[in-house]
Structures are given as structure tokens and as C-alpha cells.
Amino acid sequence: MTAAKKTSQAAADGERPGREAAELELARQLAERAQAEGLSLTGPGGLLGRLTKVVLEGALEGELDAHLGYAKHDPAGRDGGNSRNGHRAKTVLTDVGPVQIDMPRDRDASFAPVIVAKRQRRLGGVDDMVISLVAKGLTTGEVQAHLAEIYGAEVSRDTISTITDRVLDGLAEWQSRPLDPVYAVLFIDAINVKIRDGQVANRPIYTVLGVTADGERDILGLWAGEHGDGEGAKFWLRVLTEIKNRGTRDVLMVVCDGLKGLPDAIAQAWPQAVTQTCIVHLLRNSFRYASKRDWAAIAKDLKPVYAAASETEALDRFAEFSGTWEARYPAIVKLWESAWAEFVPFLAFDREIRSIICTTNAIESLNARFRRSVKARGHFPTEQAALKHLYLVILSLDPTGRGRQRWSNRWKAALNAFDITFDGRLSAGRK
């Protein structure tokens, strides 16, 4: 760095704390003045509203200066063709409530402001707020009441629906975006959503969550199934083929919950992929066939089966379990026997991989967010409305990024084990 640059940098560093102190002092003076005048901080006529008005109007005047090529009252603008033509009042909804501003105009009406565009009635932060409230499960009526109560703003339900409908283009683009060439694991699970299609019925919405070669989580998409037991190999082959056509050439493992036809579809889409059933779901399904008073004992006797060091040991422990419980609960034994082929793959891997793949907790935390948001809505008028709502929930996930960091840290050790176990297929996908 040259001496001149060092001097300039030092001056800037010295100027920054002084400027910040001046800004803090100005903010303090404004707050004291507002308090003395009986002004509230927010709401109609509040301090933040007045400051917002000053900032917006100043920015609009600056945009008009740039458009005309001269500043206000500058003699250079005299008899130069286009010129200023007064103002018109306009009310815009902002994060601090409705703010009335004076929009500058020019004579030939060619001025197209950016900060507050023509016919724009809301600033971007308001749209983000509405989307966030809807994603948290509030209905359009509840969002309308919230904006009226907190900000004194009258926003119709149709406007709120229009704001959320703007994400539909984003949903279509997100659902068809290119994907990574290889994923360490795909987790597949579903939640049931009430959709009115002639009559209200539960419909499954399937989510596919992938773990990338760098340990990042990636929600690949949302797919609506049919009411009842309508999904089979053909449905799943269509979903997996869509994922494959978006660029995913290889998947090391798919963790799911015994979905009908899914293992066959996985074998066709990615022949080398290992299909692993979710142990937690298998245990829950087992409890459905048993009296609640026996749950603890059944869980204790099943643990040696899924904690076995090898498949041979797991078979021995399962034989012991069957000898104890088959007479009372034959359906549980039959359930495990039917799921055995998809249950045992993880027994061949080391502990780092087992701890990650033996459960779909990774996707169940996402489903928990979905359920909380959907619960307040009752039912959706169409399949598209349900998909749009769940996409809004996805957009609102992990705003601080801390959750993504915790996820990445948890996967670091497992990724190395995956790459070794699967002969470098994971690292090859990074190239």
C-alpha cells in the first residue's frame, strides 16, 4: 500500500467513529424532540414515519435531478426543454405504517422513479412482512387485522393474496432449477394437508431434502400426491426422473419411510443408490400394533436389533425379539420382516454414517415447521395454494443462517466416511 493510500485509509478510519458518533447524537436529539412534542415513535404521524417521508422525498428529488440533468433552482435548466412540474400527493405503505409523500413530476411525464415507482403503493419491506406472516400460518384476514392494528394501514385481503401470489413465479423457477450432480443422501418424507377439491380431503405433500457434497442442505422440491394410497412406482419414477433431469447424476443413499413403489423407482433412477428405511418411523409403526403399556418394553427389546454390529447379529437379536413378542403382537414381527431389506443397509457402515442415516430427523424438523404453519389455515382451496404456502415457509427458514452452520458442522465427519465408503463417488461429484 502506498503512503498516500495509507494516509487516506487512516483518515477514513478516523472519520468513521466520528461520523457514527454524530449519527447517534442526531438520533438521540430527534428522539428527545419527539418525546418533548408528544410524538410516538411509530404509527401515523410518528417520528419514524416523518423520517421516512424526508428520506423518500429526498431520494425522489435526487432521481429527478439525474433524470433532468440539473438540480432544482439551477439556471442550467431554464428553457432547456423538459423541466419540473410540481408535485402530487401519494400515500405509500412502509414498514413503519402509511406515509404520505410528495411525488415530484416533470412536464413531459417521462420521469420513472425507482425508489417509489409509478403506481407502487407499498415498499418492498411490507411485501416481505406479509409473506413472513402468511408463512407463519396467519390467514389473509389475520394479516389484514395485524397491519391495521400495528401500523394503522388498511390493506384488503385481495391485496394480501396478490402479494403472496407473486411468489408463484419464484416457486415454478425454484421447482425447476438445476441441482447438484451428486448428493450424499436424499431424505424423502410427507405431511398431510387438507385440500378442497370437490370435497375436503387429506393429500400428501412430499418433500425431498438433499445433502450436498459440501454438507449443505438443499430442499430439492415439493410434490403433491393423491388422496389415499395412490402413489406407486410410476409416481415415484416420475419424481426421481425429474430430479435426475435437473442434473443429479448420482445419489449415494435415499432415506425414506417405506413408501410404496419408491425402492423400485430408486433402483431405476440411480442403480448404485442404497435405499434405507427410517428406523424412527419403523419403531413408531411398531407401536401402532401394541398396547401403550408395552411400548417401553418393545423399544428396549428392539434396540439390540438396530444397534447390532452386523446384519448377522441383528438377525439373532430379532429372533430373540420374535420369540418374546410374536405370540402377542405378530403384526410387529411381520412389519419388521417386510421392511428388513431396506432396514439393514446402514448396519454395514460405521457409526458416523449410522447416526446420520438411521432417521429422517433432518426432514422432520422441516415438516414440523410445515405443520405449525398449516394448522392455522384449516384447508386450502387448491393444490397450488397448498404448494405456494409451503414454499413461503421454506423462504422464511433460518433467517440468521445459524441453523445452516450447525447442520454443516454436524455433517463434516460423516462426509469423510461417506466418501471412503462409497469409493470417492461423493468427491467426484464436486469436480
- For the chain, 431 residues long, give each residue's pLDDT as a single digit of tens: 444 444 445 444 444 455 566 555 655 665 666 666 665 655 566 666 666 666 667 667 877 888 888 777 777 766 667 888 888 887 777 666 677 778 888 888 888 876 677 776 766 566 667 767 776 667 777 777 876 765 566 677 777 777 677 777 788 889 999 999 999 999 998 888 998 877 888 888 999 999 888 888 899 999 998 765 556 778 899 999 999 999 999 999 998 876 778 888 999 999 999 988 888 888 889 999 999 999 999 999 999 998 898 899 999 999 999 999 999 999 999 999 998 988 888 788 887 788 777 766 667 788 888 888 888 777 888 888 888 888 888 887 765 567 677 777 777 778 888 888 888 888 886 66
The residues pairing with 185 across neighbouring beta strands, listed in sequence order, are: 211, 253
Q: Which of 211, 219, 221 is nearest to 407 (CA)?
A: 211
For 17-54, b/e burial (b = at least 16 CB within 10 A) is eeeeeeeeeeeeeeeeebeeeebeeebeebbbbeebbe
**236: exposed, middle or buried (C-beta count within 10 Å: 0-12, 13-18, 19+)?**
buried
- CB–CB of 114/126 below 8 Å? no
Distance CA 97, CA 182 (A): 47
* Residue partners of 341: CB distance under 8 A and separation at least 6: 263
Average pLDDT, the chain: 79
Those residues whose C-beta lies under 8 Å from the C-beta of residue 354, and which sit 6 or more positions away, are 346, 347
Give residue 4's pLDDT: 47
Pairing of strands 199-212, 182-197: antiparallel
Compute how many other C-beta atoms are within 10 angstroms of the C-beta atom of residue 241.
Answer: 13
Locus of grid cell 429372533: 319
What is d(CA 259, CA 273) in angstroms, rounded to the nearest whole number?
A: 16
Please report the pLDDT score of residue 43 as a whole number: 59
What pLDDT is stored for residue 31 in this prediction? Answer: 63
Cβ–Cβ < 8 Å for 187, 362: yes
Instruction: Check residue 83 and give its pLDDT.
Output: 83
| CB-based burial, 255-294: b 16+ in 10 Å, e otherwise | bbbbbeebbebbeebbeebbbbbbbebbbebbeebbeeeb
Spell out the residues 6+ positions from residue 238 whose beta carbon is closer than 8 angstroms to its own. none
Check if the beta carbon of residue 425 is closer than 8 Å to that of residue 410: no
Tens of pLDDT, residue by residue over 366-381, are 888 888 888 877 788 8
**Is the pTM higher than 0.85?**
no
